[in-house]
């Protein structure tokens, strides 16, 4: 299995349409677009589509990793708590003729939809290309390593892998995170001091190598 992929909340939020539908919950990111095409037109899709691009951790019990449950005050039966309406793979409280019986594994427990982890913390870094003098502010996941950050930077420079990445003159270990490389996130300190953190971003300098990569 390859390296874990981390996603920014705004990256999840961009996939907010039925035909391109991501969700995040309990720290993980899921691409549930296949549900739309498999059950297209079904009423039980509506509550899921309404939350496309959002975090729905509040639907789940963090201990059991299953949907929250409650005791129905009228029937006294313990059932799934779905205040926004019953959705796919949630059985009805009583037998119904229109209930989909061929459920298989509930989608929220199916690892086939899982595509990565949601960043628990994000930060901004300042990247300076010493060859072209181009400068960019990049939002990244604090949990990802420099190699993953390089992948984000390819949007601005397709030859980013042909540069040596340095911080305060020291070569960065591409397999480690910013924090592990000594690039400390001082955002909380600036917040406490009521200073504009974006004016004092940590700066990474890129130095061009001679082995130009192919874009």
Give the per-residue pLDDT at 1.
41
Give the per-residue pLDDT at 23.
98
Give the per-residue pLDDT at 103.
61
Count of CA atoms in the C-beta half-sphere (13 A) of 35: 30
Q: For domain 6-118, is the CATH number 1.10.260? A: no
CA 123 remoteness from chain centre: 14
Q: Which residues contact 68 (CB under 8 A, 6 or more apart)?
A: 59, 60, 61, 80, 81
- Domain layout of the chain by residue ranges: 6-118, 122-208
Which pair of tokens denotes residue 114? 């899982």
Give the per-residue pLDDT at 100.
56
Which string of DSSP letters, residue by residue, matches 130-185? TTT--EEEEEEETTSBHHHHHHHHTTT-TTGGGEEEEETTEEP-TTSBTTTTT---
Alpha helices in the chain (DSSP H): 9-13, 33-38, 46-50, 146-153, 187-192
pTM for the complete prediction? 0.85
Q: For domain 122-208, is the CATH number 3.10.20.90? A: yes
Domains 6-118 and 122-208 share a fold: no
Give the per-residue pLDDT at 195.
62
Give the per-residue pLDDT at 31.
98
Q: What is the mean pLDDT of each run of 10 residues along the chain (215 residues)?
A: 83 98 98 95 94 97 93 82 89 64 80 96 95 95 96 95 96 97 80 66 92 53
């Amino acid at each position: 299995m390859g390296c874990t992929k981390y996603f920014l909340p705004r990256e999840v939020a961009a996939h907010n349409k039925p035909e391109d539908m991501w969700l995040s919950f309990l720290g993980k990111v899921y691409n549930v677009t296949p549900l739309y095409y498999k059950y297209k037109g079904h009423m039980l899709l509506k509550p899921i589509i309404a939350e496309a691009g959002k975090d729905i951790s509040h639907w789940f019990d963090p201990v059991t990793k299953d949907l929250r449950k409650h005791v129905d005050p009228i029937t006294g039966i313990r059932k799934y708590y779905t205040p926004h309406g019953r959705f796919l793979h949630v059985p009805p409280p009583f037998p119904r003729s229109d209930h989909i019986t061929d459920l298989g594994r509930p989608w929220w427990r199916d690892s086939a939809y899982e595509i990565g982890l949601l960043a628990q913390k994000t930060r901004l870094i300042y990247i300076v290309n010493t060859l072209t003098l181009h400068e960019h502010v990049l939002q990244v996941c604090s949990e990802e390593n420099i190699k993953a950050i390089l992948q984000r930077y390819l949007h601005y420079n397709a030859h980013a892998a042909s540069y040596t990445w340095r911080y305060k003159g020291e070569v960065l270990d591409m397999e480690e995170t910013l924090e592990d490389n000594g690039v400390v996130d001082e955002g909380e300190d600036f917040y406490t001091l009521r200073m504009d953190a974006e004016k004092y971003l940590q700066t990474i300098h890129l130095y061009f190598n001679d082995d130009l990569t192919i874009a």
